[in-house]
Amino acid sequence: MTRILVLHSVNLLRSALTALLRAEGPFDVAAAAWTRAEQQAESLQPDVCVVDVDCPGASAVLDGDGPARTGVLGRNTALLVLATAARPGSLRRAFQAQAHGYVDKDGSPGRLVQAIHKVAGGERSVDASLASALLENGSTPLSKRERSVLARAADGDSVDEIAHALHLARGTVRNYMASAGRKVGARNRVDAIRISRQAGWV
């Protein structure tokens, strides 16, 4: 039986995906919010981790390189992302995170089930609509650190909170925000977050 961990910040969507997968195949499915992702992964030891790349908190898996990422995506866990062609920046981040499967959120539930079977078997699975967007999209203009700072700001963290979480000085956080704003042509911090989210960079 394939073990699947569904990660999403919205409880209703987590529950819906879990119910769908349990009804569609011989799957052992668990779901968690980002705050409990590591504990759930340790308990389940999933074969496949399903992540909505546009979901707040997804950066812990897509951009992380520390304990949070390795605690969720163990050596034998395949990353499968739910994405949309309208946000090619998110697809690029998933590609850089070495995702094994890419499922279009506008597709059928059957596509998700097929993709899970494939990645659980060690294969790659990419919906054609997403493959085109991924190939056409250039890389993000933002550095990894700029994305991390903007993502936390988008979640409502203050400069002090961001500095503490990322082990940076407050001035360094402000510099990263200013640099990110210049790169995306934003008028201010809120505009930088809006532009970056629309492009799927954070």
Quick: pLDDT tens for 150-196: 988 988 899 999 999 899 999 999 999 999 888 888 888 888 888 88
How many whole angstroms separate alpha carbon 92 and alpha carbon 99? 10
pLDDT of residue 174: 93
Mean pLDDT, range 68-74, rounded to an integer: 76
Tokens of 1: 């039986």
How many whole angstroms separate alpha carbon 104 and alpha carbon 1? 24
Check pLDDT > 70 for residue 109.
Answer: yes
Contact 57, 13 (CB under 8 A): no
DSSP state of 102: E
